[in-house]
Amino acid sequence: MNTKQQIIIAAEQTFDRHGFTASGMDRLTDAANVSSRTLYKHLGNKNKLMAAALKQRRERFFLALDVESVDALFARLADWSEAEDMRGCLFLRALGDTGAAVEEVKAEVAVYRQQLRHLVANLVVKETSSEDATDAVLVIFEGAVSAASYCGIAAIQSARASAAVLLKHLP
Amino acid sequence: MNTKQQIIIAAEQTFDRHGFTASGMDRLTDAANVSSRTLYKHLGNKNKLMAAALKQRRERFFLALDVESVDALFARLADWSEAEDMRGCLFLRALGDTGAAVEEVKAEVAVYRQQLRHLVANLVVKETSSEDATDAVLVIFEGAVSAASYCGIAAIQSARASAAVLLKHLP
DNA sequence: GCAGTGGTAAAACGTTCGTTGTACAATTGC
DNA sequence: GCAATTGTACAACGAACGTTTTACCACTGC
């Protein structure tokens, strides 16, 4: 079994559930079921672990969102929300939690945002032959992620319908 | 001068900028320009200070968003984003930062979300004679707040236009 | 058989955390 | 003039933090 991966997966969940700064190394080692010595051997320090957890989330997230249309994007997001608790964008939260003071975290957040924009832009171009609606769909996507944390899956279904309307009727 | 208010206002900014758990009492007393003894006399403890800062943010936010139409709502949000740095919803972040383990924070977040929903629902009813589009507008609002943290005011302008289209063309 | 690898447990490092105690200064109302 | 109020500075508390050290165990391949 891959110990490093096991640590990172546990950390992704722990940071999401309990916060980045508020999650001490004790809680992280307990969640991963490894000694602190092993964790430090594999990850170096807490900042690098945060970055690794974010990278893991990003890869898992975009794997789940590997789709061919905007509608499918929101359908997959709905699937995600049924499998995982929604607590708002983990990357936005990581930045706020750490006060944007951790370089490793800032870098990972930047990569995520760039990747999300590219994904949305590509889908929008495919359907409208223009990038113009990218921001609009991006806003709805971010809104769905945020609102799902207290409106549940209804927020995502609403977002899905809204996106369809927008792609038809936006200038 | 009202010392308590001065402490709370400084705390609102400090928590927003540096995170809730990551902001120590030293930083909070420094920002408020008071001694730690004074802060504790007025606020009791850190959890209560967090709640007070969130209440302050809520009141300030809804005062800025005291409008008569959905379009004006987004216009005011754009004004807000030009006066303040956007780092995503402070309430969502407070919940994630503390791992939803602080009752005082959970309560304030619940009040905020309820008030936001009521505001949006009232505006939507006024314009469409139905509450049906509430979730859709709520999603766009949340998305504007989140996306503005890295897309700037363009996200809010895009959200404003999207909301107008939706109110016209949603079933 | 033995070096190498990859893990454990437990204690300790110095620092920072949230919070309180003590002692003192400035302003105010009667 | 004096008591009350409201603030300060500063040191201390025990606990928790991130990190490292020390010593030890189990498995692997040659």
Reported as a pLDDT band with limits 50, 70 and 90, residue A48 is very high
The arithmetic mean of pLDDT across residues B30-42, rounded, is: 96
Round to whole Å and give the CA distance between B109 and B98.
Answer: 12
| B169: nearest CA partner in chain A | A165
Sorted by where each starts, the structural domains of chain B and their CATH numbers stand as: 3-169 (1.10.357.10)
**B67 vs B73, B74, B114, B123, CA distance in Å?**
6, 10, 17, 8
C-alpha torsion A157→A168→A92→B98, nearest 10: -30
Mean local confidence (pLDDT), A132-158: 98
Predicted local distance difference test score (pLDDT) of residue A170: 81
Chain A, nearest residue to B19 by Cα = A97
**Closest of B6, B5, B26, B27 to residue B16, by C-alpha:** B27
Quick one: which of A46, A48, A47, A67 has its CA closest to A116?
A67
- From CA B129, how far away is CA B123, in angstroms rounded? 10
Note every long-range contact of B59-62, with CB atoms under 8 Å and residues 24 or more positions apart, other chains counting.
Answer: B60/B12, B62/B115, B62/B119
pLDDT digits (tens, 9 = 90+) for B88-99: 999 999 999 999
Assess whether pLDDT exceeds 80 at residue B40. yes
Q: Please state the φ and ψ torsions of residue A123, each to the nearest 5 degrees.
A: -65, -40
- Residue A7 pLDDT more than 80? yes
pLDDT band at B1 (very low <50, low <70, confident <90, very high): low
Give the bases of strand C that a protein CB approaches within 7 Å: 6-11, 16-23
Cβ contact B21–A18 (<8 Å): no
> What 3-state class would DSSP assign to B68?
coil
Instruction: Indicate whether A153 pLDDT > 70.
Output: yes
Which residues of chain A neighbour B140 with C-beta distances below 8 Å? Answer: 139-140, 143, 162
Q: What is the DSSP letter of A122?
A: H
Section A57-74 average pLDDT: 98
Residue (of B96, B166, B98) closest to B138 by Cα position = B166
On average, the pLDDT of chain A sits at 97
Q: Is A61 left (phi over 0), alpha (psi -120 to 50) or beta?
A: alpha
Which positions in chain B touch A98 (Cβ < 8 Å)? 19, 22
What distance lies between CA B47 and its chain's CA centroid?
Answer: 18
- Interface mutation target, options B139, B141, B167, chain A, most CBs of A under 10 Å: B139
Q: Output the distance from A47 CA to C4 C1' rounded to whole Å.
A: 30
Read off the pLDDT of residues A96-142 as tens digits, 9 standing for 90 and up: 999 999 999 999 999 999 999 999 999 999 999 999 999 999 999 99
CA dihedral B24, B27, B31, B34 (to 10 degrees): 80
Inter-chain residue contact B146 with A96, CB threshold 8 Å: no
Which helix (H) or strand (E) element contains residue B138? helix B134-151
DSSP state for residue A45 in the 8-state scheme: S
Which positions of chain D lie under 7 Å from any protein Cβ? 6-11, 16-23
CA to C1' distance (Å), from A51 to D22: 30
**pLDDT attached to residue A57:** 98
pLDDT at B24 over 90: yes
What mean pLDDT is predicted for residues A63-89? 98
Q: What confidence tens digit (pLDDT) does each residue in B112-168 have? A: 999 999 999 999 999 999 999 999 999 999 999 999 999 999 999 999 999 999 999
Tell me: pLDDT of B171 over 90: no
Subunit contact B159:A136, Cβ cutoff 8 A = yes
Query: Does the structure show a pLDDT above 70 at A10?
Result: yes
The answer to whether the CB of B134 falls within 8 A of the CB of B80 is: no
| Average pLDDT for chain B | 97
Q: Which helix (H) or strand (E) holds A43?
A: helix A36-43
**pLDDT over 70 at A1, yes or no:** no
Sign of CA dihedral A147, A152, A155, A157: positive
Confidence of residue A5 (pLDDT cuts 50, 70, 90): very high
What percentage of chain B has pLDDT greater than the value 70? 99
pLDDT of the residue at B170: 81
